[in-house]
Structure formats: structure tokens, C-alpha cells
Amino acid sequence: MPSAAHRMPAAANPVYQRARTPSARELHDIPWLQALDAQERSVATAALKVVQVDTGELLCRVGRPATYWFGVIDGLLKMSNDSVMGVPITFTGVPPGGWFGEGTVLKREVYRYNIQALRKSVVAGLGVDTFHWLIERSIPFNRFITQQLNERLGQFIAAREIDRLGDADARVARSLAALFHPVLYPGVGGLLRITQQELGYLVGLSRQRVNEALRSLQANGLIRIEYGGVRVLDLDALRGQSVRRT
């Protein structure tokens, strides 16, 4: 039987029907918005929508056309796909502050991955036409997108290298380091709100094995396990552990 985090809600209105105007606090938490000039910010703000997605709900689905560029205001999402053998492949988690899908939106392609909520989450979306309008006129917005693409490429290359080892501790360390990425996920800070079960979904391990890996990382002084989350004490060392195992 599928776990609760992977089941779709029995009855829920489509995401677009639940969308609303973002609050002032939610707008404040969008990292790229503050860099725009007054006109650009006004146009972007008018085009932004916010929606709450339930645990297990799909925000993006493989094969569907991209109509919005999305970012996480609060919560935790999972980017995944199914292989040709039907085996789920998790690419990454998306914590608060993270914006994703810019490559798909730039090319106006269909999604090649699913985005699913691991817990109840609040997500913002910028319409594809407004996204391209900003690309055509805003230097700060282009810098943000270029940095996003560059950092994400490095993240996926590192993930590919470590996944080949099949070392559980290294996979947990890499996943944590990726979720604390200060450029891609500026809303996380020093404490990531995540359960061991949620981290297990992202890494592809059982909760028990994730617990063992976290205890090992804590014993080495890299993290501290706190109620409802994980605090990183030495991010460089956490990244370094991943690199040394490659």
C-alpha cells in the first residue's frame, strides 16, 4: 500500500481553482522580486498567484505543458520521475525559498518530472508570459535565472556522482547539503524543517536507515537533530563528506 505522502487527496479542487493573490509577507519572501525595478515589480506582483497544496498532491505532472514558474513559500516538495522500468527516481527536494522549472519554462516545454508535496505546502507561481516578459527586459531577473541554472547544474552533477556509489550515509549527507544550498533555497537558513520519513522519501531509504545516517553525522559534529528538523553546524564539512566519498 502506498504511504500517505504518495497518495493523492481523495477529493480536491484543481490547483488553479484554489489560487489566490499573495499576501505582503509572502511577497517579501520571494527572493528575486526585490531586485526588480518599480515597473517590473508591479507587473510581476500582479501576475503572481499563491496556492496551498496538500500532502501527496501533484503540482506538476510529466507530459503537462508548463504554464507557471513555481517557488516554495512554505513546506517541502519532491521532484521525481518514473524510469522506463516504472521505478520512481527522485531528483531533489525543494524546501522554502526554492524556485524551480525555469529551464522548462524558458523552452516552453512539457514537464519531464513530477512535483509532489511531501507535506502541506504554500507555493507561488509566476505565469509563463510574465516570466518571458521579465527575461526580455530585466537584467536582475536574468542574473537570477542564470545563477539558478548554474547552481542547479552543479547540484545535479554532484548528486549523480554520489548516487552511483550506493553508500547510504553519503546519500543522506549529500541530500542534506543540497537542501541547505544558500543560493537555491535561501528560505531554509540554518534549520531545515523535515522529518526522517520525508528525508527518506528524498534519498530513497527507509526511515530507520536515515536515522542511522543522521546519528552518524551528528556524532561527527556536522549536524544537530532537533525537534521537527535538522540544524547544520558545519555546512562545508557536510558537503566535504559527500565529496570525499565520490
Distance CA 66, CA 217 (A): 39
Residue 201 lies in a domain: yes
- 56 and 151 inside one domain: yes
Check residues 201 and 162 and name the one with the higher pLDDT. 201
Residue 40 lies in a domain: yes
The mean pLDDT value for 21-33 works out to 94
Write out pLDDT tens, residues 51-106.
999 999 999 999 999 999 999 999 999 998 865 555 567 778 899 999 999 999 99
Check residues 166 and 176 and name the one with the higher pLDDT. 176
- 149 and 173 inside one domain: no
Q: Which domain holds residue 210?
A: 165-244
Residue 79 lies in a domain: yes
The CATH number given to whatever domain includes residue 197 is 1.10.10.10
The CATH number given to whatever domain includes residue 39 is 2.60.120.10
Neighbours of 164 (CB within 10 A): 9
Among candidate residues 128, 155, 182, the one where a domain is terminated: 155
On the question of pLDDT at 7 being above 70, the answer is: no
Beta strands in 3-53 (DSSP E): 48-53
φ/ψ (deg, to 5) at 223? -140, 170
The 3-class secondary structure across 82-124, one letter per residue, is ECCCCCEEEEEEECCCCEECHHHHHHCCECCCEEEECCCEEEE
pLDDT value, residue 10? 43
pLDDT bucket at 159, cuts 50 / 70 / 90: low
Beta strand 88-94 with 229-232: parallel, antiparallel or unpaired? unpaired
- 114 and 220 inside one domain: no
- 184 and 142 inside one domain: no
Across the chain, mean pLDDT equals 86
- 138 and 219 inside one domain: no
Residue 159's contacts (CB-CB under 8 Å, 6 or more residues apart) are 91, 92, 174, 178
- 71 and 177 inside one domain: no
On the question of pLDDT at 172 being above 80, the answer is: yes
pLDDT value, residue 42? 97
Residue 240 near residue 170 (C-beta atoms within 8 A): no
Check residues 154 and 11 and name the one with the higher pLDDT. 154
Beta strands in 96-219 (DSSP E): 99-100, 114-117, 121-127, 191-193
C-alpha distances (whole Å) from 139 to each of 31, 34, 97, 127, 134 are 15, 13, 21, 19, 8
- Number of structural domains in the chain: 2
